Amino acid sequence: MAQVTLRRIVKEYEGGVQAVKGIDLDIADHEFVVLVGPSGCGKSTTLRMIAGLEEISAGDIAIGGALVNDIPPRDRDIAMVFQNYALYPHMTVYDNMAFGLMLRKFPKAEIDRRVKEAARILDIGMLLDRKPKALSGGQRQRVAMGRAIVRDPKVFLFAEPLSNLDAKLRVQMRTEIKKVHQTVKTTTIYVTHDQVEAMTLADRVVVMNHGVIEQVGPPQELYHNPATKFVAGFIGSPAMNFIPCRLEQSGSALQVQLPGGAALPVPQDRTARYQAHLGRELLFGIRPEHLTEVRPNDHRENMAVLEAVPEVVEPMGMETLAHFWIEGAEICARLDPATPAAPGRKLPLAADMAKMHLIDPKTNKVL
Amino acid sequence: MPSDASAALAPGRAPASAARSSSLRRFARRRSTVAFLMTLPLIAVIGGLVAWPASYAIYLATLNRRMTAFIGLENFDILLENETFRGVIWQSCFFAITAVLLKALIGFWLAHMLHHIPSKGQRKWRGMLLVPWVIPPALSTLGWWWMFEPSYSSINWLLNAFGGPSIPWLGEPWWARISVIIVNVWYGAPFFMIMYLAALKSVPDQLYEAAAIDGATGWQGLVHVTLPMMRNIISITVLFSLIVTFANYDIVRVLTNGGPRDLTHVFASYAFQVGVLSGNIPRGAAVSLFMFPLLAVVAFFVLRGVNRRQKEMA
Ligand SMILES: Nc1ncnc2c1ncn2[C@@H]1O[C@H](COP(=O)(O)OP(=O)(O)OP(=O)(O)O)[C@@H](O)[C@H]1O
Ligand SMILES: [Mg+2]
């Protein structure tokens, strides 16, 4: 077990494509870190560089305090779970798990003990004599994890391990992975493009975009205090609404002037923070869950009412999503399913202004 | 066919009076019947080209020299007691096994090297390395004969230039055996190379990555991942090549013609010598039939293994 440190890591592929543009990251011992981002953002490349499967073009990688830039994968003491499992088809489940230990010349009894233990943790004891071909996707995934666990490495690397599973199994395996980490506590770096996976699994989430890190932080921190427009829009589902606005003075307080004519008061405690941007064209950001139906006798602090005419109403069961447009910006609100919302019918919405964000459209930073 | 099709469209509408013809139709409509009819041409071809010559060879082998009387297994008896023929059995096995092993090893080595050349340069090299395989062997063997032939031997000339002795390539039994093997390997290795190259390309890169992370060196990856993944291709090519090499005729015929002292004959060239050149066709047939049980046993075990692995893995 060990900490992992990345210093100004750059990866330039042949032809000058910069997949990773100088990232810094410190991962503590026992930590579960998830790299998340849209397709092509460089998260797989980063993971493969940590594994040693990809050479780094510049920068330093240290595992457990030791520089590993030029150390081949076999000597980095890491284990990796691949997206399509990469089990050895000619070996039984037992041999697949034992292979790494066999190469490292562990005594037979110790290998046996570790394989049986991992099989117990993952509940695959009855599969040990089978070949991978005779396993279901979920079982293969468990074997791939078992192969990592038996090694007891310094670091676990997961490369989108759940994306080949169906939705139900994915949720189940997600829990499984979390449970395994709570049991063995090995430092883990996990790559996914699924933000729900990232939020549920991570101690800290690393949001990447275009080869750079946008923000690093615990899931709640990213959700409540995104640093950039990208993170604000990427984390959370349905995504945060962005509405072009102007910041104006209204008495002693500030207000957000929306294009449709509506003006929403900014909470008092944000006045100092936003004062410098008075009069500027900004982006008003608010999550769908903070844009709800107006409840009778609703006297929440910092609540602003916004008139809307939904164009699409989607009942989801536990909630109803209402979509409407303000000057070309699509807005989504999450309503209680009991709300009588219908397309084309006027609907007053309550915006929880304590949860608002203002974004500078020039820098895309959250103010 | 049209009446068949209409019957298929309206099953059970056949009048009761035509019970016999309807059961005939049902028989004709059965999948297995249709399949049999469709493969009939192929079965006929195989029968004509394989089964018939094979049975005819067996029949021939039981006749006397003038093909006038049935003499049972006497031809086989005589052959087994013949010193020269026992030499042929030994030489055939030695030749085939050594040549196939060398072809497989060299073919694998070449494939492995090619596999690690970036794909741009790969085509060029692959093309060049395939050349020995596409030249008609009778022709290329003639070229080798020239290089081995004592008075013009370019190989000996080279050896002499580096201070080595001249070698009696085709004149001394062991050198002659080696020469035949060299030419056969030169001719056959590209086939192995191309098969193994395809097999190497079919091993997913991720398996190597997984092995590298599991702690395998390049050599361990080869032994524990590449070779096991290629086992089926390896067994099938070796079996195939064993059959072809056992039955090899042209290289021995052109290079040594069985000499010196009939010591480099293999089954096919000896069968030709006995059957055609010496005019004892039944005994020639008996010689060629000796290959069959040997290869059948090998084929049985190899194909059984291939089958089993295929079920377990792919
Ligand atoms: N071998 C390669 N040669 C050239 N460019 C590459 C190579 N591999 C990846 N890239 C480029 O590097 C960038 C990052 O790729 P990477 O695989 O890390 O993305 P990712 O974040 O894992 O995306 P995804 O979610 O689709 O897997 C992409 O723009 C991709 O086109
Ligand atoms: Mg990827």
pLDDT tens per residue, range B203-213? 898 999 999 99
B57 falls in which pLDDT band (50, 70, 90)?
confident
**What CATH code would you report for B82-313?**
1.10.3720.10
Residue A88 contacts B where some CB pair is shorter than 8 Å? yes
Higher pLDDT, B142 or B196: B196
CB-CB: which of A78, A84, A103 is closest to B216? A103
Sort out which chain B residues have CB atoms less than 8 A from A74's CB and list them: 212-217
Residue ranges for chain A with pLDDT beneath 50:
none
Q: What is the dihedral of CA B223, B224, B227, B231, to 10 degrees?
A: 140
- Dist. CA A104 → ligand 1 center (Å): 32
Sort out which chain B residues have CB atoms less than 8 A from A154's CB and list them: none
B1 falls in which pLDDT band (50, 70, 90)?
very low
CA distance A102 to A118: 16
Q: Which ligand 1 atom is the nearest neighbour of the CA of A160?
A: 27
Over residues A38-79, the pLDDT tens digits come to: 888 889 999 999 999 988 988 899 998 888 888 999 889 999
Is the pLDDT score of B16 beyond 60? no
Closest Cα in chain B to A130: B312
Tokens standing for B77?
């008896």
Of all protein residues, the one whose alpha carbon is nearest to atom 16 of ligand 1 is: A42
Q: Which ligand 1 atom is the nearest neighbour of the CA of A15?
A: 4
- Dist. CA A99 → ligand 1 center (Å): 30
* CB contact set of A210 (below 8 Å; sequence gap of 6+): A21, A41, A42
Average pLDDT, chain B: 82
Distance from first CA to last CA of chain A, Å, rounded?
Answer: 38
Closest Cα in chain A to B229: A90
CB-CB: which of A53, A74, A133 is closest to B216? A74
- Dist. CA B221 → ligand 2 center (Å): 25
Instruction: Identify any residues that bridge with A308 across adjacent strands, giving them in sequence order.
Output: A347
Put simply, the answer to whether A90 touches B213 (Cβ < 8 Å) is no
pLDDT of amino acid B19? 61
Residue spans of the domains in chain B: they are: 2-42, 82-313
- Measured in angstroms, the CA of A211 and the nearest CA of chain B are apart by 23
Q: pTM to 2 decimals?
A: 0.79
Ligand 1 neighbours (beta carbon < 6 A): A 13, 17, 19, 37, 39-45, 193
pLDDT of amino acid A1? 59
CA distance A124 to A142: 7
CA distance A92 to A114: 16
Are A305 and A352 spatial neighbours (Cβ–Cβ below 8 Å)?
no
Amino acid at B287: V
B272 falls in which pLDDT band (50, 70, 90)?
confident
Q: What is the dihedral of CA B18, B20, B23, B29, to 10 degrees?
A: -80
Closest Cα in chain A to B209: A53
Closest Cα in chain A to B210: A86
Residue A308 contacts B where some CB pair is shorter than 8 Å? no
pLDDT of amino acid B2? 41
Over residues A294-345, the pLDDT tens digits come to: 877 777 777 888 888 888 889 988 888 999 888 778 889 998 888 888 888 8
- Dist. CA A21 → ligand 1 center (Å): 13
Is the pLDDT score of B3 beyond 50? no
Tokens standing for A20?
């990773």
Are B274 and B284 spatial neighbours (Cβ–Cβ below 8 Å)?
yes
- Dist. CA A281 → ligand 2 center (Å): 37
Closest Cα in chain A to B230: A90
Instruction: Identify any residues that bridge with A315 across adjacent strands, giving them in sequence order.
Output: A320
pLDDT of amino acid B18? 55
Sort out which chain A residues have CB atoms less than 8 A from B215's CB and list them: 74, 100, 103-104
CB-CB: which of A74, A82, A89 is closest to B215? A74
Length of chain A: 367
DSSP assigned state of A97? H
CA distance B134 to B188: 10
Note whether ipTM > 0.85 here: no
Are B89 and B262 spatial neighbours (Cβ–Cβ below 8 Å)?
no
Instruction: Identify any residues that bridge with A265 across adjacent strands, giving them in sequence order.
Output: A255
Q: Which of B173, B171, B192 is nearest to B264 (CA)?
A: B173
Residue B303 contacts A where some CB pair is shorter than 8 Å? no
What is the per-residue burial (b if ≥16 Cβ within 10 Å, else e) of B240-272?
Answer: bbbbebbbbbbbbbbbbebeeebbbbbbbbbbb
Name all domains of chain A by residue range, CATH numbers in brackets: 4-232 (3.40.50.300), 241-366 (2.40.50.140)
Tokens standing for B51?
């089964």
Query: What is A149-212 written as a DSSP string?
Result: HHH--SEEEEESTTTTS-HHHHHHHHHHHHHHHHHH--EEEEEES-HHHHHHH-SEEEEEETTE
Determine the residue of A44, A212, A234 to mutate for testing ligand 1's pocket, defined as the one with the most ligand atoms within 8 A of the Cβ atom.
A44
B243 falls in which pLDDT band (50, 70, 90)?
confident
- Measured in angstroms, the CA of B115 and the nearest CA of chain A are apart by 19
Distance of CA A296 to the CA centre of its chain: 37
B277 falls in which pLDDT band (50, 70, 90)?
confident
**Mean pLDDT of the B54-58 span:** 84
Put simply, the answer to whether B225 touches A82 (Cβ < 8 Å) is no
Of all protein residues, the one whose alpha carbon is nearest to atom 26 of ligand 1 is: A39
